[in-house]
Every structure is written in structure tokens, then in C-alpha cells.
Amino acid sequence: MPNIEKQRKNLNIRKFTKSKYTWSVIITILIDNIYYKSYHFQEIIKLKFSNVIPWFLLTFALVLIVLKLLSKLTSNSRPVFNQAINNEIFEIIDRANNEIFIVSPYIDPGNTITEKIIKRAKENIQITVIHKTDQLQKDEFQRFYNRLTATNVVFYNNPSLHSKIYCNDSEALMTSMNLLTSSMENSIESGIMLNYKDSYKAIRSHIVDILNSDQTSLTNIDNASTDLGYCIKSKQRINFNPKKPVAFHVYKVDRSQKGQYCHKCGKEYHTTINNPFCDEHSINVQK
């Protein structure tokens, strides 16, 4: 799927342009340029790089240390609970400069937050939603999907998703809360807001790992009803594929032939990897 590849490539480029090292090199070149301009210039003309390199490395190390200290000084993390989490999610969406990631297995956030996401998408913020595969069947999810994809929000799904993370360019909220109106209004939830660079980066790379996972695929609701089947061992929603009727993570721990569910309809039935269908579907589907 070229779309996924493109998105992953963009993520990597962004990671590079935002790294402390990239910025240290740029600042180092600027400082060296300003303070040692004539000196460097002469050395370079004479191809005496051995005199330039130690200065460059020294400045680079100092700049890196200063940037690291600055990011430590300006960062903090704080716990948030229950409905206060809603505000943090709003803030993360509002404060994004380039990108927003919404990682939530279950999604049905109501109009206010949907409008907010649409508004940011129209401002050219790159928004990625990762949800659990079984959401594809639900009407409320499909409505949300249809409204957001009209504005270039990209959706991915994964059958094993359980993480809930809301994240923009510089801050991440890790929480128990799904993006569901019911959770936002009534549930007892906890979370932690992180904007310390190292924690933030670890969370962001966890999101990239989810996107890169073999089980993650680009969500396409038009094909959803025909493309989805059930894992014959766990009944999870997975891609419909009679040659691979078992969720990958389940297969890793249980390689036996036996299954308990029909790959097509999910009904309890003695199935096998070679014949993953119930009576009703074994003939129809394979044709």
C-alpha cells in the first residue's frame, strides 16, 4: 500500500528534522560561522580540515548539552484524572502545530470534539487515528470516519490495539480513556501528560511501531464489511483471508490447527486452519 509507505516516510523525515542532533548541527554551523568566519574560511581554502573539525566538535558538544539542559528545565509531567482528561485532549488538539495522533481502540466522541478535529484538519494539521479493527462494523464509528476522511484525516486499524494515547508535536497524554462520549462523561479514568522530550519521543516511537506492525492496516470502510473476518481461535475481527484465519499474535502462541469460531460469521463451530468455516459458510465463501 503506497499510502502507508508515504505516511511512514513522512514520519521518519519529521523525526529527523525535529531531532536535537539535527538542531545542534545547524546551531553549531551558525555559531562557528559567526565567530570564526574568517578563520574557518581560510582553513577551508587551504583544505586544513584538521583545524576546523576540533572546533566544530567542541561547539557541537556544548550546543547539545545546552539544548538537553533547556529541554529538561522546560518540561514537566503531571497526572490527570476523570473529566480533566477531556480538557487535556482538547488542548493537545488545539496546540498542535503539525501533527496529531489519536490512538484509541473505541471511538465515538460526539460532535464537539469531532468539530474540533475537523477544524484542525482543515488547517493542514496531519491527523492520524488508530483504532481497533472491530470498530469498522459500528455505525457511530462509520459516521465519525466519513466526516473525518472528508478532510484528509488518515485512519489505521489494528485488531490487538489496547493503548490509548493522544499526542501532538511536543506533548503526549497516556491514559485509560477511549475517545468515547460515555467515557468522557462518566468513567473513572486516569492519565499522565508528558512533555519531557525523552518520554515524549518514546511514546511517539511506540505509535510509529503500532503503525509499522504487520497487523496494522489502512482503514477503508468501503471494503470493511466484505474484507473483515473473525479469528477462528479468538473471535477477534481480522482481515478476511481463508488462508490466514488466525490473528497473528494468537498464531504466535498457538500453532495448532484447531479453531472454535467460523472465520466468516464468528459463530461457535469446530473449525480448523484448513477449513475455517461453519457449515453454512464452508461452501458459499470458498466459491
Closest to 175 (Cα-Cα) out of 104, 70, 229: 104
How long, in residues, is the chain?
Answer: 287
Segment near Zn ion (CB under 5 A); pick from 42-50, 124-132, 167-175, 279-287: 279-287
Residue whose CB is less far from Zn ion, 111 or 274 = 274
**Max alpha carbon distance in the chain (Å)?**
84
Q: Which residue stretch of 3-11, 38-46, 72-80, 254-262 sits at the interface with Zn ion (rule: CB under 5 A)?
A: 254-262
For the chain, state the CA radius of gyration.
Answer: 25
Phi first, then psi: what are they for 108, rounded to 5°? -170, 75
Closest CB to Zn ion among residues 163, 282: 282
Nearer to Zn ion, 7 or 239 (CB): 239
According to the binding rule CB under 5 A, does residue 285 interact with Zn ion?
Answer: no
Task: Give the closest residue to 114 by CA, choosing from 83, 82, 149.
Answer: 149
Select the span of 100-108, 111-119, 160-168, 265-273 touching Zn ion (CB under 5 A). Answer: 265-273
Burial class, 259, CB count within 10 angstroms (exposed 0-12 / middle 13-18 / buried 19+): buried
Segment contacting Zn ion (CB under 5 A): 169-177, 181-189, 244-252, 263-271?
263-271
CB of 158 to Zn ion, least distance (A): 24
User: Which residue of 262, 271, 273, 276 would you call a contact of Zn ion, by CB under 5 A?
Assistant: 262
Closer residue to Zn ion in complex, CB, 191/245: 245
**Which amino acid does the sequence have at 221?**
I
Among 264, 271, 273, 276, binds Zn ion (CB under 5 A): 264
Given candidates 125, 167, 250, 278, which one binds Zn ion under the rule CB under 5 A? Answer: 278
Nearer Cβ to Zn ion (180/231): 231
CB closer to Zn ion, 147 vs 267: 267
Select 237 or 281, whichever has its Cβ closest to Zn ion: 281
Closest approach of Zn ion to the CB of residue 267, in Å: 5
> Of the ranges 38-46, 56-64, 67-75, 257-265, which one interacts with Zn ion (CB under 5 A)?
257-265
CA distance 272 to 75: 53
From first CA to last CA, the distance across the chain in angstroms is 27
Closest CA to 207 of 166, 248, 179: 166
Count of residues interacting with Zn ion (CB under 5 A): 6
Neighbouring residues of 76: CB distance < 8 A, sequence distance ≥ 6: 195, 196
Can you read off the three cell numbers belonging to residue 63? 550546543
- CB-CB contact of 118 with 148 (8 Å): yes
**Which region among 42-50, 96-104, 200-208, 258-266 touches Zn ion (by CB under 5 A)?**
258-266
Q: How far is the CB of 251 from Zn ion (least distance, A)?
A: 20
C-alpha to C-alpha distances, 58 to 32, 196, 207, 280, nearest whole angstrom: 10, 26, 35, 73
Residues that bind Zn ion (CB under 5 A): 262, 264-265, 267, 278, 281
